[in-house]
Structure formats: structure tokens, C-alpha cells
Chains A and B, each alone.
Chain A
Amino acid sequence: QVQLIQSGLEVKKPGASVRVSCQASGYKFSGYGITWVRQAPGQGLEWMGWISASNGDTKYAQKFQDRFTMTTDTSTNTGYMELGSLRSDDTAIYYCARIGYGGNFFDYWGQGTLVTVSS
């Protein structure tokens, strides 16, 4: 069965960077894209960007473009996101999700990674 397993809790200081991993299993990794969505405490969903696992093409939300990077490693079926210049309002749960076949909806989600930014 399709699974996306994310790395664990992160606590960072303002100005630092954070890297979150998303290991996929149960499907052909290179056949689908990965997207990243975050959710601040008690808030809604915010899309950050997506990456093709087949050719590395990316699309970033303009809001994050200057400090957000997505990559994939097809040898380990893992996607990564890195967010830099962290601020307190970056405190959120960060989710990876698989992009559905034939459309940009998100059909399987990771369990989420809580990133807390605090001095």
C-alpha cells in the first residue's frame, strides 16, 4: 500500500534552516510528483510547492520562493524540503503528499512533521 513516512519533530531557532524528509513506498516513486503543504496551529492548509520525481521539475509558491527548496532522491524514494531563514510564523505541521495520477490533486499524505521555531 502507498505510504509516505516523514521525519520527526524539529525545533529550530529564528534564522535557522530546517530539512524534512518524506520516504515513499508502495508505488513507483518516479512516476508521480510530491507536493508540500503546511498547516499552522489551528489554521488551514497552505500549499508551498511541488516537484516531479521523474525529472526534478519544480513549481514554488511565490511566497516561499526565495527560501524554500524541494528535492528528490530516486535511489531512496525520498523527497526533501528545506526552508531557510525561519521565523516564528513558520511554526507549523509540514505535510508531504503524492500528486495524483493525471491531475494535481493530492491522493496520499504523509503523517506530518511539526516544525517549531522559537528562540
Chain B
Amino acid sequence: DIVMTQSPDSLAVSLGESATIHCKSSLTLFYSSHNKDYLAWYQQKPGQPPKLLFYWASTRESGVPDRFTASGSGTDFTLTISSLQAEDVAVYYCHQYYNAPHTFGQGTKLEIK
């Protein structure tokens, strides 16, 4: 199974500042024949289901604010939230869909400082 490891487990950031979350996979998620990385990011607010933010490592889902950006390839990926808003408080998960079983990172809890 592909192991997904996020860092940090939690972070506290002041309103208006930037937050960066890292995700590392135990195997490459880059599928060369498709020229795509099979990596998604989700946001989960308390009491809600996860919400898709990005897929193919950096393709923003419709409706996601552009203060959210995602990057990376191969085994190392990053989610950045610039100009943090109070509504961004949530747990963020990375997800590999390169192969089965699909696996998720353990989650990163983002709070306001």
C-alpha cells in the first residue's frame, strides 16, 4: 500500500498570513503515460464531509478560492493557503488515487493563532 504522510499534524496561523501543508507519498504518484500526478486534496470542516479542493495535484476544483494553491509532483506535494480566513479552519487531507487501495494522509489540522 502507498503510505501518505502529511506534515505538520497541526498548525496555527494568524488571519491574513499563509499556511503550508506538505504531503509525501511512499511511491511516485506520477503516471508517465498520462503525464499526471494522481493526488487530490480535501478540506473537512467539523461535522461536515470532506470537500474536494484539488485533483491531478494542482487542478483547482470549481468554486475553490484562488487563495488556495497546490503544487508538487512525484512523491512530494504542497497545499498553500494564502491570506488565511477564519472559514479556512479545517482538517486537510491528501489522497492518492494512483492505485488501490486508495490511501489518505493522516490529516493536518489548521487553526487560527
Contact = CB atoms under 8 A, between A and B. Distances in A.
Interface of A: 35, 37, 44-47, 59, 61-63, 95, 97, 100, 103-112
Nearest to B99: A104
B97 A105 contact: yes
**Chain B contact residues (Cβ within 8 angstroms of A): what range?**
20 to 34
Contacts of A100: 52, 55
Contacts of B50: 37, 45, 95, 97, 106, 109
Contacts of B77: none
A106 B40 contact: yes
Interface of B: 36, 38, 40, 42, 49-52, 55-56, 61, 93, 95, 97, 100-107
A107 B45 CA distance: 16
A37 B36 CA distance: 24
Contacts of B100: 59, 61
B55 A103 contact: yes
A95 B49 contact: yes
Given A45-B104, A47-B102, A47-B104, A103 B97 contact: yes
B110 to A, nearest CB: 15
B102 A104 contact: yes
Given A62-B101, A109-B50, A45 B38 contact: no
A112 B51 CA distance: 13
A62 B102 CA distance: 11
Contacts of B95: 45, 105-106
Given A37-B50, A44-B106, A100-B52, 17 more contacts: A44-B104, A44-B107, A45-B93, A45-B95, A45-B107, A46-B104, A47-B102, A59-B100, A62-B101, A95-B49, A95-B50, A97-B50, A103-B38, A103-B97, A106-B52, A111-B49, A112-B49
B36 to A, nearest CB: 8
A57 to B, nearest CB: 12
Contacts of B61: 107
A51 B39 CA distance: 20
**Which of B40, B61, B93, B105: most chain A CB closer than 10 A?**
B40
